A and B are shown apart, each in its own frame.
Chain A
Amino acid sequence: MNIVVCVKYVPDAQAERTFNASDNTTDRENVDGLLSELDEYAVEAALKLVEAGEGEVTVVTVGPDQAADAIKKALQMGADKGVHVKDDAIHGSDAIATSLVLAEAIKKIGSPDLVVTGMASTDGTMGVVPTMLAERLGLPAVTYASELTVDGAKATIRRDGDVSTQTIEATLPALISVTDQINEPRYPSFKGIMAAKKKPVEEWSLADLGVEAGQVGLDAAWTKVEAFAARPPRSQGEIVTDEGDGGKKLAEFLASRKFI
């Protein structure tokens, strides 16, 4: 079974994230980045499936030079090869354009049995790219998988909702997005780090994919950030001194905020 995993290089959520002042896009240059933690679950899910049978895992990313680190991390975890789509014209692309570039890249890779993605990125957090991508590829899509098994040409997915748990079957080829409940992503081993150095990574431009520069980027985006402001520092909490009526005051406070 051949699997393509879409991964994203995102600014570290633990660092001070910000926007570029010039065009209000996410600052990817001055903040340390990494493979989106939510995508690690997708990589792990794909590796598990391939290790249980045969085939290979290809990771694909769309992003600037540094995004190569996201591919490298996935290769260190055990993926077989990488594809890095980079082109200055992609800067500022929205989800629609991103899904176009990913779809063309996956078509060029071949016809995978399965496309696996994280449930959302940790920077944009829209979670719409998986279904857009499935639409463009003409694949059935099952999102938010918390369990995934494959038997022959049939994938079985458990999807945990607020009020029920659904079991869904999909015929391969299909696209599945996975949650952070599906597995515990492995650490790369040192052997994995060494092996990753020798794994092939292809770099493709928009021209390689037959995508026009005008179809992507900030100018083609359907949405645009008009302005941004830093979140105001958190104000100090209210301190209640217990003078025998602490419990009552606490209840009053919670009631005033409609918590109880």
Chain B
Amino acid sequence: MLASLVFYTFGFILILSSLFVITARNPVHSVLFLILGFFNAAGLFVLLGAEFLAFILAIVYVGAVAVLFLFVVMMLDISFADLRKDAMQYVPVGLLVGGVLLIELTMVFMSWQASPELAQNIAHPIDAAAQANNTKALGLILYTDYLLIFQMSGMVLLVAMIGAIVLTLRGRSGVRRQDVSKQVSIKRADVVEVQKVTSGTGI
């Protein structure tokens, strides 16, 4: 009973905050509601017994991705009243895309059939040998059966990261950079010279 109460609380807040993400007038408030949504999704994962996924969701999405979102959105200087003025002209396109997605999702879910071993799979989602904790179970599956896919997705992320760096890197001229090793390795003799100056003559 308590578990279902907690489930409905998390689910209700998740839906509500997702709704506020798209309806909030202020983009920063949108991001804050998104973070609340992530949290409640993590809570749902905990209820499912997938605590590793829950905390990875909190660390990666809330701790890193959403910080960068907030970082960017906070620095935007856009008048949202102006944007909202011509927002109506996109409504037909939006409705079209949304309608297509809705139809596709309905078709997918209509054709779903529950597997006959469903009850047994829910009771033992992973091998009995790996029942100990789901961190270990996830690692065992990820690094054996799905190694290729795992490595490939890592490669895709690496390429995306290098691409982002290449796109934003620009060699600016005329910037004086600090070279710490050069500064530290400098010797007294390189920069200071003591000279005896006799009066009446210059150097």
Partners in one complex: no
